[in-house]
A and B are shown apart, each in its own frame.
Chain A
């Protein structure tokens, strides 16, 4: 199918700013779904609140645009009650790891099969440029006018520690890699986390004087390397891309099926 067959044209034009990275993620996601040959009626996209969350309206899947931070909690109810559905949960950095941080680590701990995509633009865009838990020390935001003194989470480290069984990272510059990693994350039988560095030229770019969208994409090109690259040894500040964790552990819905069998035997 063509990519346009996966979108709701009625909903366009989208509301993202010119130069925003989120459209690239939408594009890569639809290509991944197409490559996998998934049936649209078997996909549920659940999102929270923020710029990133609007992605669920644009796709022609079952879609749920919920409340701030709780997308994974709604998604858990959807997946548990109908495990045959593919559940994709795109979230912003604040959505996933500030207000939604608790749900994030608990969904990872349960290893429930769903695909969490952290669309990390390091800022609260929709409310106009406040710092997020992924902005990083020293960054500027409307609520950090003298420079941010909050340290950031590392999404990969956090996800691994919380028990996610598939953890990967890439950027909106590396579009083929992005699409490929989304595919891998969807196929993975367990909780998968994909962090995507996504540029916000309007708020992060402007306030931190890192240039326009193209400049920001160039940074992703220059300042990221594949996992295991030798460059990282000489330049430790480089950000690694690729699959950090991929392991086969019992998935929550399948565990619950076993529990049902046990409960029925004990009756």
Chain B
């Protein structure tokens, strides 16, 4: 029988054109006690390299791999993967993938490639965080995801007021702890 939880995404990966990691996040429900499917870095990397060898340059969007549904898109020199449970609705996962791609397209200013991902890593990981929260799909509309990603702070002159506030904050924080 299908899985009824909202935890529908097992992992999101971005690999480069040699199968090397640019971004990899394997999701496990936060407060759950179940063991993660790929507990060690070694098993994750092994999974990624065999997945890469099965998908690179094939451009066929979807594959069943090691008992999971994997949807993927190759964009210039990177591949984005969304990995879900075997019973997950394939079209749903694909929708997530497209949403994420559209969002990256906006935040990376139509230049989704390896260099741009590395240089704008904060945008990429914020966009992914706004797409999926520990396995739960947050949003699949690219423009909405992108609108949630903040731009960088502008250069500024520090003001003393902020610091004073912070002292208050820290002391408050202490009082909460002890």
User: Do A and B originate from a single complex?
Assistant: no
Binding site for B on A (CB under 8 A): none
- Chain B positions near chain A (C-beta within 8 angstroms): none
